[in-house]
Structure 1
Amino acid sequence: MILLVSSIIFYAYADYRFLILLVLSIIINYYLGLKIRKAEKEVLQRRFLYLGLIFNIGLLIYFKYFNFFYESFVKVLNVFSADLSYNSLQILLPLGISFFTFQTLGYLIDVYNEEIEPSKNLLEFSLFVSYFPKILSGPIERASKMMPQIKEKRNFSYDVFVDGLRQILWGLFAKVVIAENCADFVDLIFDNYTDYSGSVLLIGATFYAIQLYADFSGYSNMAIGVSKLFGIQLMRNFATPFFSKNISDFWRKWHISLTTWMLDYVFTPLSFTLRKYQKTGLIISIVFTFVLVGFWHGANWTFVFYGLLHGIYFIPLVYYGKLNSSKTTAENNLIPSFKNSIKMVSLFMIIVLTDVFFRVDTVFLGFQYLQGIFSKSLFYSPEIIMGNTTYITFALVLFFLFIEWINKEKSHDFDIRNYKLVVRWTCYTFVFVLTLIFGKTSETFIYFQF
């Protein structure tokens, strides 16, 4: 009850206007779950499932995508007729709707497939949906993992509590130090990309990839860490993805809760349906899934194109049968081999260039930015655009990546529980001091817009 009331207050404080929508979503999905299981005939179960799909997907389409479809339709009409004037409907996007809607969708599908029992306690189900550490930006939790933790009595664990504090500290450092310092360069370079050389544009794109990762993984670590203080374990959402050697490995480590959700509820049934087409069917399933992954992020063609590119990157892996062949880079070693280093750096640069479309407003601007990178000025010495701040930010990013590298095989990015006491406290103090000195205030997280 305490966690539920806290979660409702938290969401209302973030945006009270959509509290009724959240409550309505909870109640409808709760009763649909019960109806699916109680229905004796499969046709009735399927109807209740379809009602749930229509309701939840309908929420997303109306609040998140209606303006996009409406404006795209008008633009198509304008191609074939005189210009039509129109006004955007200015539909507000409820905070966290993509996250809690996917969570309830997964819940109803799992109930229908008899993988879980429907919740018979409205308070427990309400907490599952509205739990405050994850409702705004995930992770997207599964009922099979989280509901049992809500039901059972939770005893205080000193080790879990302290480990939660470690993740909070590291997540805070990632957000207010790494992401926010990178943002200063990113905003300046992307907003004035025609004024800079290709080498500076490449640095700007690299800093944006780091910013995006530090911003979202920082939120996830803080959310998981806060949840540990209450004895509830949320799933890991990032596992040092920049150290991957191929695109398949990258998506097993990037936004894990979304990737696994799409794998279970979109890719698996689609690939089963298209299995008779063998590799072609597998490629179609992957590309379609990643287009949806991109579209999930926002109502813009840039996100669709972003997802399409990532789906295309899987094609060589499918044809060469290496979709699941990647292992941890430099497993049990501090220094990777030359071959693995080349693979890791090459993939990182592909991610950096693709993330440009995640940052710009239109696909056309994304290609213009890339055109600016791949000009002869790419080989010019980059201008120092922010003085000593450039070197400081670069040093902070290197420190951030180094800590993540040495913990790449641990349970999270700042899992130093097995280090000696003096080493642990030296790390805590150093990260805390860096946060105090170089941390910057921020109004929001990047993924709040999704």
Structure 2
Amino acid sequence: MIFNSYEFIVFFTLVFILYWFVLDKTSKTQNSLLLIASLVFFGWTDWRFLIVLIFNILFNYFLAKKIYKENKEKIKIRILWIGIIINVGVLGYYKYFNFFYENFVDVFHVFGSDLTFSPLQIIIPLGISFFTFQTLGYILDVFYEEVEPYSDILLFSTYVTFFPKILSGPIERAQKFIPQIVNKRTFNYNMAVDGLRQILWGVFAKMVIAENCAEIVNPIFNNYQNESGNTLLIGASFYAIQLYADFSGYSNMAIGVSKLFGIDLMRNFATPFFSTNISDFWRKWHMSLTTWMMDYIFTPLSFTLRRFKKLGLIFSIILTFLIVGLWHGANWTFVVFGALHGIYFIPLVLTGSMNKSSIVAKDRFLPSLVEIIKMASLFYLITLTSIFFRSKQVSDAIEYIQIIFSKSLFSYPVAFINANVFSVIFLIFIYFTIEWFHRTKSHDFEISNKPVYVRWTLYIGLFVFLILFGKSSDTFIYFQF
């Protein structure tokens, strides 16, 4: 069940009516409804996924309480490690077992072993990376005394399963989410309207931008060996935009739907393509994952290696991004993707500019020439790296990039240029223009302070684009993670 489907509209409408007009008497009834609805939503594809989810909830609920009650530091650390090993172990089994098993067999083949690889038929529960990281963060926060464990299992279960975020995030902190559902929610008109705006913007990004880009991208990547270098570069550029529009579109829909229930989720994207360096890009791209990785991986690791100064910092960054890459999937392409992003930080570390960030064209209508060059350079660096993200094998990505930088890069892409491509470029221009004017706002379509006629012109305009150019899709790219 995806946000831009008819079945979700029916599901959401029913839950919304029950939430605000039938079961709105107490926080307990509201949370009970959200929990039941979330379990139905999560188990819609395959009810067996619920077994993993319910285990995750119960295990981490009781483990956190055990950590908090334990007074002996050594025992507390052991309990924490049990929690980490079991959480990561469950995630590893479902998501990475076949990957590591296959590579284990390949290593033995080098030494002449006749061991064969027969992959297990493992069905990966949707959203397992997201809800596992949420609960891992929770027990770590309890261990570090950032939060006390919640005694109300209904609150905790609602936090873990809340349906707008369970499949593809954002990865929420318990101490931010749970206080919002402790008391009974009352309908907030302004919050609901803002949520509808984000949903509209997310649907536009997914169905108009991402899906139209996909129609250009898929044939190019599927037939890349027979395409020219410039066609491949253009295809990779469209893919970078598709990936962003697809995932940020989902995030905006998730946040918007959540606002309709009176709950505010953290922002997950903040116009990352208007960044001028890789550090600023990752502050604005998949922000909930970046924050999680910085807090629980990078910060303790860099603190441990602080005596090695810049070398320790570089090692911490690269290792963190290797984990970021592997988090995305069980494939060496994701490992390379993460490693490259980590390597891109090295010049910033050496020059001491890693933490420097500024809003592009602050208090100005247009960016300077220097800012344009930096943004364009970063975009194409991200674009080339995203080829690994899209490819099935590392060798495919390398060959794709080799063709880009062949002599055919300077030929004219005759077969590629057509009316459809120009219409998609026009749509992308509209998309990023609106983002540009809202780069300092709380989200990309925050237009509450604009005059009524401007707001309704934008609403109608987006609806027209959806009718004329919108395309249906049965999944989101990040569902596979």
TM-score normalised according to structure 2 size: 0.92
- Distance in 2, matches of 1:78 and 1:336, equals 55
Output the CA distance in 1 between the equivalents of 2:115 and 2:387. 31
1:368 aligns to 2:386 (yes or no): no
- CA-to-partner distance for each residue in 1:93-116, whole Å, 9 max, x for gaps? 110000000000000000011110
Other-structure match for 1:242 = 273
SS at match of 1:151: coil
Letter in 1 for 2:360: T
Superposition deviation, residue 83 in structure 1: 4.6
Which residue does 1:413 correspond to in 2? 444
1:75 aligns to 2:106 (yes or no): yes
In the alignment, does 2:192 pair up with 1:161?
yes
2:18 paired residue number: none
Map 1:339-378 onto structure 2 (within 5 A). Answer: 339-378=370-409
Aligned residue pairs: how many? 450
Q: 1: distance between equivalents of 2:74 and 2:335? A: 35
Q: CA deviation at 1:416?
A: 0.9
1:102 is aligned, of 125, 128, 133, to: 133
Deviations 1:282-316 (A, max 9, x none): 00000000000000000000000000000000000
Give the whole-Å Cα distance in 2 for the aligned partners of 1:21 and 1:386. 48
User: How many angstroms apart in 2 are the aligned matches of 1:76 and 1:96?
Assistant: 31
The normalised TM-score by structure 1 is 0.99
How many Å separate the matches in 2 of 1:399 and 1:195? 32
Which 5+ residue runs of structure 1 have no aligned equivalent? none
- Alignment partner, residue 21 of structure 1: 52
Q: Which deviations, in whole Å up to 9, do the C-alpha atoms of 1:243-266 show, x marking residues without a partner?
A: 100000000000000000000000
The question of whether the paired residues in 2 share the 8 Å contact of 1:67 and 1:88 is answered with: yes
Aligned partner (choices 125, 129, 134) of residue 160 of structure 2: 129
Alignment partner of 1:120 is 2:151 = yes
CA–CA distance in 2 between the matches of 1:334 and 1:201? 33
Task: Quote the offset at 1:54 in angstroms.
Answer: 1.3
Look up the match of 2:86.
Answer: 55
- 2:461 is aligned to 430
State the shift of 1:387 in Å. 3.1
The alpha-carbon distance between structure 1 residues 420 and 384, as it changes in their structure 2 partners (threshold 3 A), is farther
CA distance in 2, matches of 1:41, 1:326: 42
For the residues of structure 2 that align with 1:36 and 1:224, how far apart are their CA atoms? Answer: 32
Q: Distance in 2 between matches of 1:383 and 1:417?
A: 44
Q: Aligned AA for 1:67?
A: N
Q: Distance in 2 between matches of 1:359 and 1:307?
A: 13
**Residue aligning to 1:293:** 324
Work out which of the residue numbers 195, 215, 223 in structure 2 matches 1:184. Answer: 215
How far residue 82 of structure 1 moved from its aligned partner, in angstroms, is: 5.0
Aligned-partner Cα distance in 2 for 1:433–1:204:
26
Matches of 2:329 and 2:280, distance apart in 1: 24
The residue correspondences of 1:262-411 to structure 2 (distance < 5 A) are 262-385=293-416, 387-411=418-442
Equivalent residue, structure 1, for 2:177: 146
* Superposed displacement of residue 386, structure 1: 7.0
1:66 is aligned, of 84, 92, 97, to 97
Distance in 1 between residues matched to 2:204 and 2:138, nearest whole Å: 34
What is the 5 A alignment of 1:248-259? Answer: 248-259=279-290
For residues 325-364 of structure 1, the C-alpha deviation after alignment (integer angstroms, 9 at most, x for no partner) is: 1201111222001111111110011000110000001111
* Cα distance between partner residues in 2 of 1:66 and 1:202: 34
* Conserved 8 A contact 2:384-2:401: yes
Distance (whole Å) between structure 1 residues aligned to residue 104 and residue 71 of structure 2: 43
User: Within 1, Cα distance between the matches of 2:309 and 2:465?
Assistant: 52
Residues 264 and 74 (structure 1 numbering): CA distance in 2 closer, same or farther, change over 3 Å? Answer: same
2:101, 2:117 within 8 Å by CA — same for their partners in 1? no
Of 116, 120, 130, the match for 1:89: 120
- Separation in structure 2 between the aligned mates of residue 29 and residue 85 of structure 1, nearest angstrom: 37
The one-letter amino acid paired with 2:260 is L
Match of residue 213 from structure 1: 244
Distance across 2 between alignment mates of 1:448 and 1:74: 29
Alignment-mate amino acid for residue 282 of structure 1: L
Following superposition, the deviation at residue 402 of structure 1 comes to 0.8
Percent identity for Structure 1 against Structure 2: 61
Counterparts of 2:439 and 2:88 in 1: how far apart (Å)? 36
Could you tell me which runs of 5 or more consecutive residues in structure 2 were left unpaired when the two chains were aligned: 1-31
Aligned-residue offset at 1:21: 1.1
Alpha-carbon distance between aligned partners in 1 of 2:456 and 2:365, rounded to the nearest angstrom: 22
Q: Distance in 1 between matches of 2:292 and 2:49?
A: 25
**Cα separation, 2, equivalents of 1:419 and 1:289:** 41
Q: Which residue of 2 is the match for residue 197 of structure 1? A: 228
